[in-house]
Amino acid sequence: MRALRILLIVVVILGGLFVIADRVAVGFAEDKAAEKIKTSEGLTNTPDVSIEGFPFLTQVAGGELDDVKIGIKDYEASTGGTAAATDKIRIDDLSAEMHGVVFSGDYSSATANSATGTATIAYDELLKTAKSEPIDLGLGVTAEVTGLSDGGNGKIKVAVEISRGGTKLPKPVYVLSSVTVDGDTINVHADEIPKKVDVMGISVPLPESLVRNVTDFQQKIDELPGGIQLDKVEAAKNGVEISVKGSDVKLVG
């Protein structure tokens, strides 16, 4: 009985030491992975990296990690143009979960079999795409988009400022718009265009084709981390929420 008790104590101690070693190793690996991702993606801030699953050391021995979660607070994605600052769009709180991460022996590269994630594009950021020079609607009346906000039920409320002879209407005209994704492009399309608007006592017709040049716009999102792609979009309280997915996603290398 005494020998059995001693054996059990030894097993418990060794098990505890293994758990400690495993947690130390995973913490070290997470820090190193975060630094490598920061460098490879050209990030300003170090991302959060969490390697899931236990034990970590046996996953390393097998050369594949079950799940790796990555969080990037602010990510500047390309809009498909040049490298100028105006051709970037800020994506907030990008959170991705990588599954089946295979890495090289020297840890210089790592690729996930699949990935899913979410992020948000704030309305003020998306507004940069919508804003343009005022468009002439005829009779000296011009219109331009001046605001985007949550319209409820997955819609974007688009504020259109109307002016005549340089004088603005006291209140903007609002339209509800649907937001969809097509490949790497987010599309905002007004559900319905007002037929006319009263401008200083004058009823001015609103040609739909011209008004849509104001209300409808597109935003391309290019070069997301690791090659992940847009999947779904939906208007929400603080901006457009996007879902992303991908396969053979490169974390580093």
Give me the residues paired with residue 114 across strands: 99, 247
Percent of the chain with pLDDT over 70: 87
Query: Is the confidence at residue 230, as pLDDT, over 90?
Result: yes
Confidence of residue 4 (pLDDT cuts 50, 70, 90): very low
Which amino acid type is present at position 141? V
How many CA atoms lie less than 13 Å away from 153 in the CB half-sphere? 4
CA-based radius of gyration for the chain = 26
User: Rounded mean pLDDT of 180-204?
Assistant: 86
User: Rounded mean pLDDT of 227-249?
Assistant: 93
Mean pLDDT for the chain overall: 83
Confidence of residue 62 (pLDDT cuts 50, 70, 90): confident
Q: What is the pLDDT of residues 114-126, one digit of tens each?
A: 999 999 999 999 9
| Residue whose C-alpha is closest to residue 244's, from 226, 225, 234, 229 | 229
What pTM does this model have? 0.83
Distance separating alpha carbons of residues 200 and 170, to the nearest angstrom:
10
Which amino acid type is present at position 223? E
| Residue whose C-alpha is closest to residue 98's, from 247, 253, 231, 252 | 247
Q: What is the pLDDT of residues 125-183, one digit of tens each?
A: 999 887 777 888 777 888 899 999 999 999 999 999 988 877 787 888 899 999 999 99
User: Rounded mean pLDDT of 221-237?
Assistant: 90
The more confidently predicted of residues 70 and 3 is: 70
The answer to which of 11-25, 42-56, 83-97, 199-213 has the lowest mean pLDDT is 11-25
Runs of H (alpha helix) within the chain? 2-41, 56-62, 123-130, 208-215
What pLDDT is stored for residue 6 in this prediction? 46
What pLDDT is stored for residue 253 in this prediction? 64
CB 200 within 8 A of CB 164: yes
Confidence of residue 14 (pLDDT cuts 50, 70, 90): very low
CB 248 within 8 A of CB 211: no
What pLDDT is stored for residue 222 in this prediction? 83
| Residue whose C-alpha is closest to residue 228's, from 215, 245, 204 | 245
What pLDDT is stored for residue 46 in this prediction? 92
